[in-house]
Amino acid sequence: MTYLNPDRIFDPDPAVRKIARVLYESVQDLPILSPHTHVDPKILADNEPFPDPTELILIPDHYILRLLYSHGLRLEDFGVPTHDGITVETDHRKIWQLFGEHYHLFTGTPTGLWMDAELLEVFGVHEKLTGETALSIYDQLQEKLQSEEFLPRKMYETFNIEVLATTDAPFDTLEDHKLIRESDWDGRIIPTFRPDSVTDLSHFQWHDNLRRLGSACGYEITSYATFIQALEERRSFFKTMGCTATDHSMENPMTHRLTDGEADNLFQRALKGRIETNQAHSFTAHMLMEMARMSTEDGLVMQIHPGIMRNHNLKVFNQFGPDMGGDIPIRTEYTRNLHELLNTYGNDPRFRVIIFTLDETVFARELAPLAGHYPAMWLGSAWWFIDSVQGMTIFREQVTESAGFHKTVGFIDDTRAFPSISARHDVSRRVDANFLARQVARHLIDPEEAQRIIRSLAYDLSKKAYHL
């Protein structure tokens, strides 16, 4: 049977496959570095059993929900909580059954690939998920989830994770991180400083967020100067909690410094609720410069991942909130947009910025040439819609010739789905092994060097890029 064949993902050509297998096996058991996730630290702080398969695997995963929704299924029927109080399905076995009946829709997608691997390799389920097997699988999963072996911290250890970074608002008090650090458990869970919800003056909850930032600092923030001070203090606090990186998302990665006066002017307008979209964008462009400035000073690695139009489907957003699969990529420009940032800080040895994209067309044209020149710039891995077999292969094909291997960071799982972490890193290691094997089989890379490179891609580069 081909289901989860040990050679999966590798090219069928025997020469390539043989090399790929050797390369893969050499890194298969390396520890996982996961420097960018959306895992909730609470699950590792509490270390309680996960409630049930539907609650753990299905309801929070917008990768799954969006495809089901696209086939005319209703989010309510999958138990997704609504804002308008409409009743949603609460029978989690019934929801899982519905999922099983439509699981064939995921064939050919990374979600399907991860799920298959997760079911077999994490949970020991030997059947393919279908309408027929759904309830039996549900019961198997449920049983496992109640066992000691599947407690969150235990899974972290089973996955051989060395470090896992969460993503946290700047006003977050990091209580869960504290609990973990103060516990007798030695898993390394670190926060990431993500200030978008306060640096984006047009954020729909900006006033609330600013108040919370003030509370975290112990003073009211009524000026741009205090705002900057607050951010610097919070970065400093995050660092004491193990943080090594910041994270920034926006539609467009424009970078441009305003004068302090101009910045304060926009800040005051926002305080009065009178900010316009283009003004908010100017402020974001300015704050990227400020964040880069702070990074040169405090050494936090900066991550920028633009190019997404959030909440494209307003009906779904209004009813179910954000992160429901309605975020759609847009064309993104980097050469001009990053010009000011890279000219100001890109030659500074204290600075490091990792650039992500959802627009594959820029890998060869813009990102590889930029990372192949500026010492401060590294290339983030293929991510979100493109952290797939084809997407990660295209990433290597498109960036390697101009930027080589050693300015790319390792795999970023970027996941909310804790139990899928090992499956995701496994796919990445297989794809990289296969890419290298193709090069070896075409006599473009020496076998011994491929061996060194696969280790860098699976482990060393993440460690170096994120100062782990």
* Pairwise CA distance, residues 349 & 347, whole Å: 6
Are the C-beta atoms of 155 and 49 separated by less than 8 Å?
Answer: no
Q: Does 386 bind a copy of itself (CB under 8 A)?
A: yes
Total binding residues toward a copy of itself, as defined by CB under 8 A: 94
> How do strand 308-309 and strand 328-329 relate by DSSP bridges?
antiparallel
Tokens linked to 402: 């101009």
Report in angstroms how near the CB of residue 432 gets to a copy of itself at its nearest. 12
Window 396-415: residues binding a copy of itself (CB under 8 A): 397-398, 400-407
x/- mask, a copy of itself, residues 424-453, rule CB under 8 A, reads --------------xxxxxxxxxx-x---x
Is 27 or 358 the residue whose CB approaches a copy of itself more closely? 358
Residue 385 CB, shortest distance to a copy of itself, in Å, is 5
Rounded Cα distance, 85 and 456, in Å: 49
86 sits near a copy of itself (criterion: CB under 8 A): no
Residues 96-135 that bind a copy of itself (CB under 8 A): 104-110, 113, 128
Q: Report the relative pairing of strands 353-355 and 308-309 from DSSP bridges.
A: unpaired
Asked if 5 interacts with a copy of itself (CB under 8 A), we say yes
Q: CA neighbours within 13 Å on the CB side: how many for 188?
A: 13
The residues in 269-328 that bind a copy of itself, with binding defined as CB under 8 A, are 309, 312-316, 325-328
Taking the C-alpha atoms of residue 353 and residue 355, their distance in angstroms, rounded to an integer, is: 6
Tell me which residues in 128-167 interact with a copy of itself (CB under 8 A). Answer: 128
Q: Of these, 368, 423, 457, 465, which contacts a copy of itself (CB under 8 A)?
A: 368
Min dist. Cβ of residue 326 to a copy of itself (A): 6
The answer to whether 344 and 292 have CB atoms below 8 angstroms apart is yes
Nearer to a copy of itself, 13 or 132 (CB): 13
Question: Is residue 305 a contact partner of residue 356, using CB atoms and an 8 Å limit?
Answer: yes
Q: With respect to a copy of itself, which residue has the nearer C-beta, 4 or 30?
A: 4
- Shortest Cβ distance from residue 237 to a copy of itself (Å)? 30
Kindly state the smallest distance separating residue 98's Cβ from a copy of itself, in Å: 16
CB atoms under 10 Å from CB of 440, counted, come to 23
Handedness of CA 375, 189, 240, 220 (dihedral sign): positive
Residue 91 CA, distance from chain mean position = 30
